[in-house]
Amino acid sequence: MRVLGIETSCDETAAAVVEVSDAATERPRARALSDVVHTQADVHERFGGVVPELASRDHLQRVLPVIDEALRKSATALDDLDGISVTRGPGLVGALLVGVQVGKSLSAASGRPLAGVNHIEGHLLAVLLGDDAPSPPWLGLVVSGGHTSLYEVRSLGSYRALGHTLDDAAGEAFDKVAKLLGLPYPGGAHIDRLAAEGNPRAIDFPRGLSKRSKTELDFSFSGLKTAVLHHVREHGVGNLPDLCASFQEAVCDALTQRAVRAARAARLPSLVICGGVAANSRLRALASERCAAAEIALYLPSPKLCTDNGAMIATAGALRLARGERAPAGMSADPGWRL
């Protein structure tokens, strides 16, 4: 199947053309023929975070040129497609509506079937675009600016939530701490770069929910964020690399501890870490260490596939279309859509 994927859930306008073979099986093979992403980081940088109205307006300007470029780079015409896939939710409602309306319009104009995809499912299935991909069941840790959740992937298309963040998502904590430290937006990459030069044990920051039952698999990062704020107020920024490394270690320690614990409890042989924060170098290294010690196979999408992209939406949509699913003509955006 050759599918066009459209992603506009937050502050990236993305489109991709993906070919998926064996789409109706538990071992599909996906290959991106094109993957175009326009980021709005420069639009939101002076505000220190995403402004929903500005995001929607930028999507309106960018979405058709981005789709045109994805089709051109893959040497694909609309008539060559087997289907169209678009992110329906969760996300910012105005941003989602842009992609949904364009996807519906292209589907109606071309006669190609349309699939509405959950953004979280897209992240979970991005791993299928790599050379080495697991077959279900596996544990998925989705960790990004808006989401920090654990899912049991029983089969492709069947998911069970095991744990969520109770407050801030991990990526949100990275961005808010970066803003506190005077680092540019988005802050995660800047903290990662500075942390490479620091001592992760310089400051003993708390691990959220560490005193609760070891059977609980939820996350919390608001207390850590507040601890960084109090430290800066009392001691100043001081050694910035040490501070960044200590904060980053606290986040990655909590994420990997609970992910490995969940995989063991559910007796799942593999762990997939996905979402924007999965590009963090310390998270990838610590997860590798802990999975090796627990004899759990670790799968990590390439850093490019961790951030929002159209290829993951095309892949998830292809599997839905292969199962015979079709989006109704009245489909709309669902900003609170749960997987």
What is the distance between the alpha carbons of residues 303 and 101, in angstroms, rounded to a whole number?
Answer: 29
Which residues are CB-contacts of 312 (< 8 A; sequence separation ≥ 6)? Answer: 5, 7, 122, 123, 125, 126, 129, 305
Q: 3-state DSSP call for residue 303?
A: helix
| pLDDT band for position 7 (cuts 50, 70, 90) | very high
Segment 239-260 shows an average pLDDT of 96
- pLDDT for residue 213 is more than 90: no
| pLDDT band for position 221 (cuts 50, 70, 90) | very high
Segment 42-49 shows an average pLDDT of 87
What is the distance between the alpha carbons of residues 139 and 153, in angstroms, rounded to a whole number?
Answer: 6
Quick check: 188 and 244 in contact, CB under 8 A?
no
DSSP 175-208: HHHHHHTTPPSS-HHHHHHHHTTS-TTSS-PPPT
φ, ψ dihedrals at 208, nearest 5°: -60, 135
| pLDDT band for position 131 (cuts 50, 70, 90) | confident
Quick check: 94 and 41 in contact, CB under 8 A?
no
Domains 2-126+308-322 and 133-300 share a fold: yes
What is the distance between the alpha carbons of residues 16 and 87, in angstroms, rounded to a whole number?
Answer: 12
Domain spanning 2-126+308-322: which superfamily? ATPase, nucleotide binding domain (3.30.420.40)
In this structure, which amino acid lies at residue 204? Answer: D
- Which of 124-133, 165-174, 212-221, 316-325 shows the lowest mean pLDDT across its residues? 212-221
Q: 3-state DSSP call for residue 238?
A: coil
Please give the structure tokens belonging to residue 205.
């920051």
- pLDDT for residue 211 is more than 70: no
| pLDDT band for position 20 (cuts 50, 70, 90) | very high
Residues recorded for the chain: 339
Quick check: 324 and 78 in contact, CB under 8 A?
no
What is the distance of C-alpha 116 from the center of its chain? 17
- pLDDT for residue 186 is more than 90: no
pLDDT in tens, 290-310: 999 999 999 999 999 999 999
- Which of 88-97, 185-194, 238-247, 284-293 shows the lowest mean pLDDT across its residues? 185-194
Pair type for strands 83-89 and 114-118: parallel
Residue 8 is classified by DSSP as -
Q: 3-state DSSP call for residue 224?
A: helix
Segment 177-186 shows an average pLDDT of 91
What pLDDT sits at residue 216? 82
- pLDDT for residue 215 is more than 70: no
What pLDDT sits at residue 40? 93
In this structure, which amino acid lies at residue 65? Answer: P
What pLDDT sits at residue 25? 87
Q: Specify whether the backbone of 194 is left (phi greater than 0), alpha (psi in -120 to 50) or beta.
A: alpha
Percent of the chain with pLDDT over 70: 98
Q: 3-state DSSP call for residue 309?
A: coil
Q: Where are the domains of the chain?
A: 2-126+308-322, 133-300
pLDDT in tens, 66-122: 999 999 999 999 999 999 999 999 999 999 999 999 999 999 999 999 999 999 999
Segment 150-175 shows an average pLDDT of 94
Segment 168-177 shows an average pLDDT of 93
Which CATH number applies to 133-300: 3.20.20.120, 3.30.420.40, 3.40.50.300, 3.40.390.10? 3.30.420.40
| pLDDT band for position 160 (cuts 50, 70, 90) | very high
Segment 324-337 shows an average pLDDT of 95
What pLDDT sits at residue 324? 95
- pLDDT for residue 156 is more than 90: yes
- What's the chain's average pLDDT? 94
What pLDDT sits at residue 214? 60
